[in-house]
Structure 1
Amino acid sequence: MYKHVLVPVAFDEDHDPSEAIAAAGLLVSEGGRVTLLHVMAHVPSYVINYVPEGFQAEAQAAIIASLEAMGSELPHATGVVAEGTAGKTIVKWAGQEDVDCIVIASHRPGMQDIVLGSTAAQVVRHAACAVHVTR
């Protein structure tokens, strides 16, 4: 059992985090906590002038609310939003926040994943803690 379980959540059409969230509930120890993390890409500087003021903060608040709703059945679950590239940010966040298990959903790899590497593959290769992959 783990004290701090991290579940990265992507809001892509083909990703369903429900199995990863359920697995996190089984893997977290009594009194442990689960963090649902969404990584937002950086807004390029040439685009920032076209984004309405306050949009980023509103989007983050809405995402956190969605994450916390997803984790409402789990004990001590919280939602967090971080900025960066998905794989690197997940691994870095886990290292900084004393995560001892990452539960990440994966999909069947396509040609793009074979060439570039999927987020789950990056996390498995670089995380300093246990990683549980669901499909």
Structure 2
Amino acid sequence: MYAKILVPVDLSATEKAEKILRKAESLLNPDGEIVLLNVVEDLPNYLAIDLPVDLIENAIKDARDRLAALKQNAPRVGLVEIRSGAPAREILAAAVDLHADLIIIASHTPDLTNYFIGATADRVVRHAKCSVLVDR
């Protein structure tokens, strides 16, 4: 059982998010806490020039709304956090900052560039300072 579980979610795959939230609840101490995290990726400068100025701000607002909806169905979620940057780097930083005991991350269907697990999940597994559970 774990005291603090970090659950980074990809909001384009909410069914996976709900599944790993249920897994987190089953592994949580009775007095533990789940932290929901979403990382909004920064845009490269060469792309940002051609896109609306408030694109990132709108993505953060959308993420906040969608995470709030996920939290409503998961009573053990204590904190919802949104960060911007490179997903793997921000997930690892959040785990350290929040003193997470476990990270539960979903993996997408692999392609040839990341055959065994997703690129973000792979980086998190290799560099995390706490336990990591990858849900395929």
TM-score range, shorter chain: 0.7 to 0.9
* Alignment partner, residue 71 of structure 2: 71
Q: Which structure 1 residue ranges, 5 or more long, are not aligned?
A: none
Residue 13 (structure 1) shift: 5.2
Q: How does 1:1-135 map to 2 (within 5 A)?
A: 1-12=1-12, 16-72=16-72, 73-114=74-115, 118-135=119-136
Q: Paired residues, what number?
A: 135
Distance 1:99 1:2 in 2: 9
Aligned-pair Cα RMSD in Å: 2.5
Query: What's the offset of the Cα at 1:40?
Result: 1.2
Q: 1:19 and 1:78, CA in 2 relative to 1: closer, same or farther beyond 3 A?
A: same
What is the CA–CA distance in structure 2 between the aligned matches of 1:10 and 1:32, rounded to whole Å? 23
Residue 61 of structure 1 and its aligned partner are, at CA, apart by 2.3
Pair 1:13–1:76, CA change in 2 (3 A): closer
Deviation of 1:36 after TM superposition, in Å, equals 1.2
Report the alpha carbon displacement of residue 71 of structure 1 after superposing the two structures with TM: 2.6
Contact kept, 8 Å, 1:41 with 1:84, in 2: the verdict is yes
Question: Residue type of the partner of 1:106?
Answer: S
SS at match of 2:31: strand
Shift, 1:49, TM fit = 4.9
Whether the 8 Å contact between 1:15 and 1:105 is mirrored in structure 2 is: no
1:5 Cα deviation (Å)? 0.7
Q: What residue identity is the alignment partner of 1:61?
A: K
Amino acid at match of 1:19: K
- Deviation, structure 1 residue 50: 4.9
Query: Offset of 1:117 from its aligned partner?
Result: 5.8
What SS does the corresponding residue of 2:7 show, helix, strand or coil?
Answer: strand
Structure 2: state its 5+ residue gaps: none
1:20 positional shift: 0.8
Give me the identity figure in percent: 30
